Amino acid sequence: MRLYLLIFLTSVLTSCQQQAPWQSLFDGETLNGWEQIGGVAEYSVEDGAIKGTTVANTPNSFLRTENTYTDFILEYEVKLSAETNSGVQIRSNSIPEFENGRTHGYQVEIDPSERAWTGGIYDEARRGWLYPLRDMPEAQAAYKHLEWNKFRVEAIGDTIKTWVNGIPVAHLVDDRTAEGFIALQVHSIYSDDDEGIEIQWRNIRIITENPGKYALETALPAIDMYNKLTHSQQDWGWELLYDGSSMNKWRGARSAEFPESPEGTGWDYKEGLITINESGGGESVNAGDIVTRELFSDFELWVDFKVTPGANSGIKYFVDADLNKGEGSSIGLEYQILDDDLHPDAKLGAQPGSRTVASLYDLIKAENKPINPVGEWNHARVISKGNHVEHWLNGRKVLEYDRNTPEFQQLVDESKYEVWPGFGTWKEGNILLQDHGNDVHFRNIFIKRLD
């Protein structure tokens, strides 16, 4: 009876999978629907498979889909002719302002080395290893070198799962990128001895129509990347400014201690979020701004933020917390956070549009913003190196400027900051999260000092 039931259930599952709305991404004969970016490794079609061939002294090469995808289930088969690193990019992008078009995004690894992290998830050109296969012997043994291997990837919402030859390998929760292309990687090599290694892909198909209906269960526990440094970020010198529970790296802008308040008022920090609660829209009149205990000069800062309808806040840098002892917020350069549609500040500013989200507040308007709607998370990135500063929003650069220049000083002289001598020119300062009396949330606050 049990055997009959197992056969029946297997038959039903197989039938459901066969009836799933699969679409082929590769016609078996041409590279129609694909284009090559990055390096100049060779791609061709042979015996119903896409073949990539390594070429020495060229960057990573990618054969990407012309279309982009959000939620999907992807299946493909891979075979290597010799030991080399490779992978398949998902939800990946290439834009001119990101390292001159460098491909970046999630990669499902192909790793035939002794490390054996095939099916693990790597964040190409950004955070490095998100889901390494440490202490996962069954997953590490799933890949069969020099044979055809079947991969399954489910990317649904903020969850990415992988299987190799039917064995669950990865279960990642992360929402850095929601949409992008799929790409077949031929990794860079720098030895003539490694030239001519072949990576073949075949039976590449995808479900984009209601993929959740066809998702599989996995016994692997989910690993989320919220308020955590990746394996690679730790090696690269990144620092967490919020670990999801403690505010020991922060204090009040006008206090030596963090401004504790009853729950639901002032600043809350729990369940992986820092929240400044609604208090009527006043600027730093309730709990007040908070600043880092340390000062920063050359740095790269990442902050996720989410606003509520009509909300106003900001991320400030090069803050002199001792400068303004009167009313209002502490003084520093500000990455504006705002509901552009509902808050009146969006129509104000010394320069037109300079108080809209991601702008350099009151000085420079952010342009070409890929903003997510109110109530969804957005990713701010600020890079400061010497006098050059960049604002990024959701992976795209939206403005850049140079401090300590006549052009910058003119903007200051025409702004509300003209009354503060030396504004924006200080060598170092605090990072600040602003209390502007509205309900705003923060998480994933990372910083790296730049040499």
Tokens of 410: 């003119």
Tens-digit pLDDT profile for residues 8-41: 444 444 455 558 999 999 999 999 999 999 999 9
Q: What percent of the chain has pLDDT over 70?
A: 96
> Of residues 435 and 193, which shows the higher confidence score?
435
Tokens of 338: 């705002």
- What pLDDT band is residue 162 in, cutting at 50, 70 and 90? very high
Burial degree of 261 (CB within 10 A; 0-12, 13-18, 19+) = middle
Residue type, 259: P
pLDDT value of residue 190: 87
List of residues 6+ apart from 382 with CB closer than 8 A: 299, 300, 301, 315, 317, 335, 389, 390, 391, 392
pLDDT value of residue 338: 98
SS3 state at 419 = helix
Tens-digit pLDDT profile for residues 310-350: 999 999 999 999 888 778 899 999 999 999 999 999 999 99
Q: Is the dihedral of CA 234, 238, 242, 246 positive or negative?
A: positive
Tell which residue, 313, 326, 302, has the closest CA to residue 391.
302
Distance between CA atoms of residues 397 and 445, nearest Å: 18
Task: Give phi and psi for 194, each to the nearest 5.
Answer: -95, 5
Tens-digit pLDDT profile for residues 62-113: 999 999 999 999 999 999 999 999 999 999 999 999 999 999 999 999 999 9
DSSP class of residue 212 equals: G
Domains by residue range for the chain, with CATH: 19-224 (2.60.120.560), 232-449 (2.60.120.560)
Tell which residue, 179, 161, 177, has the closest CA to residue 169.
161
Cross-strand partners of 25: none
Q: What is the pTM of this model?
A: 0.91
Query: DSSP characters for 300-356?
Result: EEEEEEEEPTT-EEEEEEEEETTT--SSSPPEEEEEEEE-TTT-GGGG-SSSTTTTS
- What pLDDT band is residue 193 in, cutting at 50, 70 and 90? confident
pLDDT value of residue 285: 87
Pairing of strands 42-46, 378-385: unpaired
Residues making up the chain, counted from first to last: 451
SS3 state at 15 = helix
Residue type, 409: Q
